[in-house]
Structure 1
């Protein structure tokens, strides 16, 4: 097929090899970008989980009352949940290669990342409450945890939504 025929075919058939290749390159870039974003989130989840794993073995852990142990357990479970959810897209990508449906994979991976980030945000809020309650008292711990919840919710969710509404990004 000559160059002229190929160009004519491409103009009338948007699903040609060239357009599919272009879409795939865009999707590959989006996927690489998404996996790069995970490289930012995962260390936070890993570090938080690592510290929380050590807490029960520290002196004084047995002195915690029931409610404080409940906050610790919730924090620990949320941290581990975020770690699993945030690592899932990378593992799934490796197991499913080559991807048959990149758009569906990106949708699923995005949902897992958002759920993982939500679990991590809650774990950070509870960790703030736990630490500051132990150091400065329950009132300060609760106020600081509420502040961190508002801050994380604002920066991670409300700011991007505001940008989208205003057409900034």
Structure 2
């Protein structure tokens, strides 16, 4: 198998994971609506995290919490980059000659951005609640947050699609 065949196979696998089909018409309206929900979440979390190190109490947090902060901040910024990338790419590429192909690429970026955002939200929950209520409470609520995000963002849509409800 050559590298071109491998790339095509990986592309097909990614399309299956994110739910893009060969008959996708390339309409970008639904994608725009989805980004209107995800982008502000990533922006708000990133903005909050940018201010944290400048807070006087940041110097007092333990090294493990600083590591969690670093991971949270990195995931949040990466999610923001991936979620905003389709808009910039759309503007730079215009006019689109392959709307369905662009939508497949953008969908992959949005899904990866959403995964990173879910991870950042989970870690942010752990960071805040561990600081306020203690490490145990932070871990419990971060686990619940991550589980809820996994259930609502990934498992439920896959189950509904498999049952033919969506």
Both proteins in one fold, TM over 0.5? yes
Superposed CA RMSD: 1.4
* Inter-partner Cα distance in structure 1 for 2:29 and 2:162: 26
By how many angstroms is 1:103 displaced? 1.2
1:161 maps onto 2:158 in alignment:
yes
Which among 66, 70, 74 is matched to residue 73 of structure 1? Answer: 70
Q: Would you identify which runs of 4 or more consecutive aligned residues in structure 1 move more than 2 Å?
A: none
Q: Name the residue aligned to 1:122.
A: 119
Partner-residue secondary structure (3-state), 2:28 = helix
By how many angstroms is 1:36 displaced? 2.1
Q: Name the residue aligned to 2:82.
A: 85
* Inter-partner Cα distance in structure 2 for 1:137 and 1:36: 38
* Inter-partner Cα distance in structure 1 for 2:65 and 2:46: 17
1:55 maps onto 2:64 in alignment:
no
Report the TM-score, using the length of structure 2 for normalisation. 0.84
- Larger C-alpha radius of gyration, 1 or 2? 1
By how many angstroms is 1:37 displaced? 1.2
**How do 1:1-169 and structure 2 match up within 5 A?**
26-27=25-26, 30-169=27-166
Partner-residue secondary structure (3-state), 1:168 = coil
By how many angstroms is 1:100 displaced? 1.4
What is the aligned residue count? 144
Report the TM-score, using the length of structure 1 for normalisation. 0.82
